[in-house]
Amino acid sequence: MNNLSKPLMIVLSSPSGAGKTTLSKKIQQSDNSFKISVSHTTRKARANEVDGVDYHFVTKEKFKQLLSEDAFYEHSEIFGNYYGTSKSSVNKIIKDKYNVLFDIDWKGAQQLSGYKELNLLKIFILPPSKKELEKRLVARNQDDKESIKNRLFAYSKDIEHSNEYDHVIINDNVENCFNSIKKIISIRLNT
Ligand code: 5GP
């Protein structure tokens, strides 16, 4: 918890495949004052993903029902699926006196920015280039060709929003990128 006794809320956004999920997990492992906000999604689980850990995987019907109940702080439609941050899971993290880490897109970051009372720190992660991003998406072997094409198409749109963030970091090397983020967090926690 920072010295304002308000939880620090770090938003990590990036074009898909820039390494943000790995970075979020590394931040949480290195600093146990942080908990990752587990989002709801209508996307199908990937082979290595666990329900309730990586995401709460729900049907479109269930997501729409939660939306109608005003259950989300923010939500977004990405590549034909819905993603959202539920109020109850974030409130639980805050109640337990942890800082919060969000792995969400720029549309979600814009919505969270609308809550002026939040102690937000917004970081945008960029891959070194579009070519490198394509290589990573192919290498991680999680998405079919169509999905990779969509993610590359979204890249140019996504990076237009990088100027809405407090910091932009290029992930050319995970360790270097992680160390830069750690430095930024530590400055913010100690001011
Ligand atoms: P993926 O399907 O690769 O796990 O995630 C696709 C995109 O959805 C990523 O950019 C990720 O940051 C974003 N995302 C994941 N959860 C949420 C959420 O709850 N809200 C928003 N706005 N974006 C999310």
CATH of the domain at 170: 3.40.50.300
What radius of gyration do the chain's Cα atoms show? 16
Q: For residue 104, what are the domain limits?
A: 8-189
Confidence at 57, pLDDT banded by 50, 70, 90: very high
Question: Measured at the alpha carbon of residue 28, what is the angle toward residues 35 and 50, in degrees to the nearest 5?
Answer: 70
pLDDT at 2: 44
Contacts of 111 (CB under 8 A, 6+ apart): 73, 74, 75
The residue whose CA is least distant from atom 24 of ligand 1 is 104
Is 1 contained in some domain?
no
Q: How do residues 81-114 score in pLDDT, each as one tens digit?
A: 999 999 999 999 999 999 999 999 999 999 999 9
The binding-site residues of ligand 1, defined as CB within 6 angstroms of any ligand atom, are 16, 39, 43, 74, 76, 78, 83-85, 103-105, 107-108
Q: Which atom of ligand 1 is nearest to the CA of 39?
A: 19
Is 2 contained in some domain?
no
Residue 96 CA to ligand 1 centre (angstroms): 24
Confidence at 5, pLDDT banded by 50, 70, 90: low
What is the three-class DSSP state of 51?
A: strand
* % of the chain with per-residue pLDDT over 90: 74
Query: Measured in Å, how far apart are the chain's first and last C-alpha atoms?
Result: 12
Domain count, the chain: 1
Of 23, 78, 93, 133, the residue with max ligand 1 atoms within 8 A of its CB, to mutate for a pocket test, comes to 78
* 8 Å CB contact between 41 and 55: yes
What does residue 43 show for φ and ψ, rounded to 5 degrees? -70, 150
The residue whose CA is least distant from atom 5 of ligand 1 is 16
Nearest Cα to 102, choosing from 36, 49, 50? 36
